Amino acid sequence: MKKTLLVIGLGTAFLAVSLWVWLSNGKSAKAVKAKFRLGGALLTLTGMMTLGGCDGKGPLVSCYDPAPTNMVYIERGETQDVKNGDHITVKVRYFSAYGIKVSIAKDAENNEVLQSEIYKITESSADVIHTIDVADYIGEAHLRVYLMISENEIYEYDYLKLYVVE
């Protein structure tokens, strides 16, 4: 509360000194000097008030959002009906992990896998074109994309329900 009142007081004084500078057409050295000092004090005070964090809840280093990492998503078309030979694009952005795994299973629990493919990603941004190959299976299928931190550390990242036709 004290800091807020101090900012209001300094702001009012700054406005008064600005009026003094304007009335003297900038010729009063004392007025210009006072305006610079009050402006500097206001900037310092407001900077100190926000130092603890942007949301006021804790000590943050900066208020900027960190750069995104490992964004992986399926480029979805208008329809999810697919057949063998169709392509599904998986977009990879800001990538710094080992690779991705694309898996197609018959059931939502991923018990009966129809197709599984691992793609090693070497670039920060890439488009992975996955070709559907589920043999003679027809029906509902579940496509999952996994983020691979290493060969053994895998996390599910995106999901798409498909219907295999023909």
Question: What CATH number should be reported for the domain holding residue 158?
Answer: 2.60.40.1930
Strand partners, 156: 146
Mean pLDDT in the chain? 85
Q: How many domains does the chain have?
A: 2
What angle (nearest 5°) sits at the alpha carbon of residue 34, between those of residues 41 and 36?
55
The whole-number average pLDDT for the span 19-43 is 93
Domain containing residue 135: 71-164
**41/11 same-domain check:** yes
Q: Where are the alpha helices (DSSP H) in 24-151?
A: 29-49
Q: Is residue 54 part of a domain?
A: no
Residue 154 to residue 162: CA distance in whole angstroms:
22
Q: Is the separation of the CB atoms in 90 and 128 below 8 Å?
A: yes
Q: What is the dihedral of CA 111, 116, 121, 126, to 10 degrees?
A: -100
The pTM of the full predicted model, rounded to 2 decimals, is: 0.58
pLDDT at 116: 93
Residue 122 to residue 33: CA distance in whole angstroms:
58
**154/96 same-domain check:** yes
Strand 154-164 and strand 139-148: the pairing is antiparallel
Q: Which residue has the tokens 């299928």?
A: 141
**79/37 same-domain check:** no
**44/94 same-domain check:** no
**81/19 same-domain check:** no
The whole-number average pLDDT for the span 122-138 is 90
pLDDT at 115: 94
Q: Is residue 62 part of a domain?
A: no
- Taking 90 as the threshold, does the pLDDT of residue 65 lie above it? no
Q: Is the separation of the CB atoms in 115 and 133 below 8 Å?
A: yes
